[in-house]
Amino acid sequence: MPTLEFEGNTFNVDEDGFIDDFNNWNEDWVKYVKTTEGIEELTDEHWKVITVVQDYYKKNGIAPMVRILSKVTGFKLKYIYELFPSGPGKGACKMAGLPKPTGCV
Amino acid sequence: MAFEPNEPQEKIKYDEMRIYSDEELNNYTEEELKNFKTKHDTPMCDDLESGPWPSFVADAKREALHRRKLADDRILLSAETVEDTLGQLEDSFVDGETHWKHGGIVGVFGYGGGVIGRYSDLQEKYPAVAHFHTLRVNQPMSKFYNTDFLRTICDLWEYRGSGMMNMHGSTGDIILLGTTTEQLEPIFYQMTHEMQQDLGGSGSNLRSPSCCLGRARCEWSCIDTQDMCYELTHYYQDELHRPAFPYKFKFKFDGCPNGCVASIARSDMSFIGTWKDDIRIDQDAVQAYIAGDIAPNGGAHAGKDWGKFDIQKEVINLCPTACMWMEDGKLMIDNKECTRCMHCINTMPQALRPGADTGVSILFGAKAPILEGAQMAVLTVPFMKCEPPYENIKDLVEKVWDWWMEEGKNRERLGELIQRWGLPKFLEVIGLPPMPQMVTEPRSNPYIFWKAEEVPGGFKRNIEDYRVKHMR
């Protein structure tokens, strides 16, 4: 598993750039992923999505369905794509430090 | 009716788009191919070059040689991609197991699907397939092409991909097999900016719709499957590119009940063309069939001597509802008893035609076995008119989606949701009254639910009132 250095942190990531363990997440990770996910400036709205995703994951052990993410944040899917151009799975979940989405993707 | 694109389309001219010269495209001789040894020994793969069927191994070797002989700066992936693919496949044949790692999440910005990420688990041995992502490219309706388009996409894929394709994936897409993460955005840019070509669907979204060839070249097509498929593909671009559903959802469009795109088995919402007036009979042509002047079934059984055509045996007696007979030498059909199974029309295409008052039957819920068992689609809308711009169809689609997106569990196909909630609830959602046509047979168990308002007095009862007449 490749490791990468960013602002004094060491992160273990897989080929898709997902972090190996949710517990190794910190705010620098978000700053790092920003550079690869087409995000120029991190806003409060980015953080809102990230926090919602993380809270849901801590509570339920899975990522929220898109519908639930939209409902809780109040952001329509289109707007989530404006915030995270790769979408809620590859973009927001990766940034939030969640495990990689699986299944028929 | 001629095809009308939704937006102006520029004709792709290969001569303006091409990447490779004729010399580069034909850069090896058959003699060289005969003597060509791939990088890895692949005895089991080589075995598959024998026999009469076109061999994918033989084709792969041609491509491998072709890539070897292209100059290094004329392809962006390793020249050995095809050879490493064969090498890894050989290892899989030997080990009896796959050598692709689990999953893979890659894509292009703006979309949540369209690319299937894949990485080798033997990256040191086969470095050229360390990344081997698949792109789904939305196919033209019914897969009619001209060579300008195909040659252009082939050049692009040779340059930025492995050169290997799947024509087509079972959902319908053109499948570009094998490229690296860095190439995804450039490929997407070139397809969209230079070819007006979009990706197909993957993930929990609307997958690429597909259709039979319909009125393009079939006399039985009751609806313009291509126009409908094209219109709905365009209309629901958002749903196709950005997963918003509980799970995947597929549309397929069959022009008639013969089901040439198998919509009844392979789509969550299956559109099947049909008619509601009479089968059109040309009695002279019926006589020509009886006389043996025209081969039955368009000559489909010519490979064997089945004897002289016998209309009684091959058509009338095989009609599932027995609604046909001969009278004074004429073929008669009791159309109100006809279920439009297509058998007689299939057998005597020059004598019988579907009716002229056409539309679609809409069926829901087909899926493969996981999780709750395989399902074919269930007839829900027996007949609906369907004319551009298909407003009635779109209304129905959106009612279904609204319900499924709200009630569907994570990774629950529409068919499973209908099972879980029951067909009556589904009918309520789409606003249709229950009809006998929606069941093969009535239920045989008596576990029948009633709504409180259907029962005189409702469900609220007092046990004391009951005790007045029935002592404990």
Cβ–Cβ gap A16/B112 under 8 Å = no
**What distance, in Å, lies between the first and last C-alpha atoms of chain B?**
78
pLDDT above 70: residue B319: yes
**Please, what is the Cα angle at B334 between B333 and B340, to 5 degrees?**
80
3-state secondary structure chain B: CCCCCCCCCCCCCHHHHCCCCHHHHCCCCHHHHHHCCCCCCCHHHHHCCCCCCCCHHHHHHHHHHHHHHCCHHHCCCCCCHHHHHHHHHHHHHHHCCCCECCCCCCCCCCCCCCEECCEECCCCCCHHHCECCEEEECCCHHHCCCHHHHHHHHHHHHHHCCCEEEECCCCCCEEEECCCHHHHHHHHHHHHHHHCCCECCCCCCECCCEECCHHHCCCCCCCCHHHHHHHHHHHCHHHHHCCCCCCCECEEEECCCCCCCCHHHHCCEEEEEEECCCCEECHHHHHHHHHCCCCHHHHCCCCCCCCCCCHHHHCHHHCCCCCEEEECCEEEECHHHCCCCCHHHHHCCCCEECCCCEEEEEEECCECCCCCCCECCEEEEEEECCCCCCHHHHHHHHHHHHHHHHHCCCCCCHHHHHHHHCHHHHHHHHCCCCCHHHCCCCCCCCCCCCCHHHCCCCCCCCHHHHHHHCCC
Residue B283 bridge partners (DSSP): none
User: Do B58 and B87 share a domain, yes or no?
Assistant: yes
Cβ neighbours of B240 (radius 10 Å):
29
Which member of A61, A67, A104, A105 is catalytic? A104
> pTM for the full model?
0.95
Of B304, B326, B353, the one marking the end of a domain is B353
User: Do B228 and B253 share a domain, yes or no?
Assistant: yes
Residues whose CB falls within 8 Å of the CB of residue B3, separated by 6 or more in sequence, listed in order: B226, B227
Give pLDDT tens digits for A2-46: 899 999 999 999 999 999 999 999 999 999 999 899 999 999 999
Instruction: State the smallest CA–CA distance between residue B246 and chain A in angstroms.
Output: 7
Question: Measured between beta carbons, which residues in chain B are less than 8 angstroms from residue A90?
Answer: 105-107, 112
Burial class of residue A38 in the structure, from the number of CB atoms within 10 Å of its CB (0-12 exposed, 13-18 middle, 19+ buried):
middle
State the average pLDDT for chain A. Answer: 94
- Residue B327 counted as domain residue: yes
Residues B330-342 have a mean pLDDT of 98
User: Do B34 and B136 share a domain, yes or no?
Assistant: yes
Residues B366-386 have a mean pLDDT of 96
Q: How many domains does chain B have?
A: 3
Residue B359 bridge partners (DSSP): B274
User: Do B170 and B304 share a domain, yes or no?
Assistant: no
Cβ–Cβ gap A90/B107 under 8 Å = yes
The encoded tokens of residue B353 equal: 């035609």
Does the beta carbon of A105 lie under 8 angstroms from any beta carbon of chain B? yes
Task: Report DSSP state, residue A101.
Answer: P
Which residues of B have a CB under 8 Å from any CB of A?
101-107, 109-113, 116-117, 119, 131, 202-204, 238, 242-246, 248, 405-406, 410-411
Give pLDDT tens digits for B384-439: 999 999 999 999 999 999 999 999 999 999 999 999 999 999 999 999 999 999 99
- Residue B469 counted as domain residue: no
- Residue B2 counted as domain residue: no
The interface predicted TM-score (ipTM) is 0.91
Residues whose CB falls within 8 Å of the CB of residue A1, separated by 6 or more in sequence, listed in order: A12, A13, A14, A20
**Tell me, what CATH number does B399's domain have?**
3.30.413.10
Q: Are strands B358-364 and B330-333 parallel, antiparallel or unpaired?
A: unpaired
Instruction: State the smallest CA–CA distance between residue B152 and chain A in angstroms.
Output: 28
Residues B4-15 have a mean pLDDT of 89
pLDDT above 80: residue B2: no
Cβ neighbours of B431 (radius 10 Å):
9
Instruction: State the smallest CA–CA distance between residue B290 and chain A in angstroms.
Output: 53
Least CB–CB distance from B246: residue in A65, A87, A100:
A65
User: Do B67 and B162 share a domain, yes or no?
Assistant: yes
User: Do B260 and B375 share a domain, yes or no?
Assistant: yes
Least CB–CB distance from A86: residue in B107, B119, B248:
B107
Of chain B, the percentage scoring pLDDT greater than 70 comes to: 100
User: Do B367 and B339 share a domain, yes or no?
Assistant: no
Q: Are strands B280-281 and B352-353 parallel, antiparallel or unpaired?
A: antiparallel
pLDDT of residue B7: 84
Half-sphere exposure of B243 (CA within 13 A, CB side): 25
pLDDT above 70: residue B236: yes
Q: Are B166 and B175 in contact (CB under 8 A)?
A: yes
- Residue B4 counted as domain residue: no
Cα–Cα dist B261/B252, whole Å: 7
Cβ–Cβ gap A66/B243 under 8 Å = yes
Cα–Cα dist B77/B160, whole Å: 6
What Å distances lie between residue B426 and B80, B253, B438, B444, CA to CA?
Answer: 53, 21, 12, 21
Least CB–CB distance from A103: residue in B110, B131, B411:
B411
User: Do B269 and B330 share a domain, yes or no?
Assistant: no
- Residue B472 counted as domain residue: no
Cβ–Cβ gap B112/A90 under 8 Å = yes
Cα–Cα dist B96/B9, whole Å: 48
pLDDT of residue B377: 97
Cβ–Cβ gap A15/B119 under 8 Å = yes
Q: Residue B268: name the closest of B431, B435, B401 by CA.
A: B401
pLDDT band at residue B4 using 50, 70 and 90 as cut-offs = confident
Q: Are B107 and B113 in contact (CB under 8 A)?
A: yes
User: Do B78 and B92 share a domain, yes or no?
Assistant: yes
3-class DSSP assignment, residue A10: strand
- Residue B446 counted as domain residue: yes
Cβ–Cβ gap A16/B104 under 8 Å = yes
pLDDT of residue B9: 86
**Tell me, what CATH number does B314's domain have?**
3.30.70.20
Give pLDDT tens digits for B157-184: 999 999 999 999 999 999 999 999 999 9
- Residue B461 counted as domain residue: no
Instruction: State the smallest CA–CA distance between residue B245 and chain A in angstroms.
Output: 7
User: Do B370 and B259 share a domain, yes or no?
Assistant: yes
User: Do B318 and B232 share a domain, yes or no?
Assistant: no
Long-range contacts of B248-252 (CB under 8 A, 24+ apart): B248/A104, B248/B203, B248/B204, B248/B205, B248/B207, B248/B413, B249/B205, B249/B206, B249/B207, B249/B401, B249/B404, B249/B414, B250/B171, B250/B206, B250/B207, B250/B209, B251/B206, B251/B209, B252/B209, B252/B210, B252/B211
The encoded tokens of residue B231 equal: 């219109």
Cβ–Cβ gap A89/B111 under 8 Å = no
b/e map B337-375, b = 16+ CB within 10 Å: ebebebbbbbbbbbbbbbbeebbbbbbbbbbeeeeeeeb
pLDDT of residue B8: 87
**Tell me, what CATH number does B58's domain have?**
3.30.70.2500
Task: Report DSSP state, residue A17.
Answer: -
Of B170, B194, B218, the one marking the end of a domain is B194
Of B130, B165, B194, the one marking the end of a domain is B194
Cα–Cα dist B410/B396, whole Å: 23
Instruction: State the smallest CA–CA distance between residue B465 and chain A in angstroms.
Output: 47
pLDDT band at residue B1 using 50, 70 and 90 as cut-offs = low
φ, ψ of residue B270 to 5 degrees: the values are: -110, 125
- Residue B463 counted as domain residue: no
> Is position A104 annotated as part of the catalytic site?
yes
Choose, out of A57, A62, A65, A76, the residue to mutate when testing the contact with B (most B CBs < 10 Å).
A65
User: Do B237 and B371 share a domain, yes or no?
Assistant: yes
pLDDT of residue B411: 95
pLDDT above 90: residue A103: no
Give pLDDT tens digits for B267-298: 999 999 999 999 999 999 999 999 999 999 99
Residues whose CB falls within 8 Å of the CB of residue B163, separated by 6 or more in sequence, listed in order: B63, B66, B67, B81, B82, B154, B157
Cα–Cα dist B259/B276, whole Å: 18
Cβ–Cβ gap A66/B244 under 8 Å = yes
| Residue span of the structural domain in which B424 resides | 210-274+359-454
Question: Measured between beta carbons, which residues in chain A are less than 8 angstroms from residue B202?
Answer: 104-105
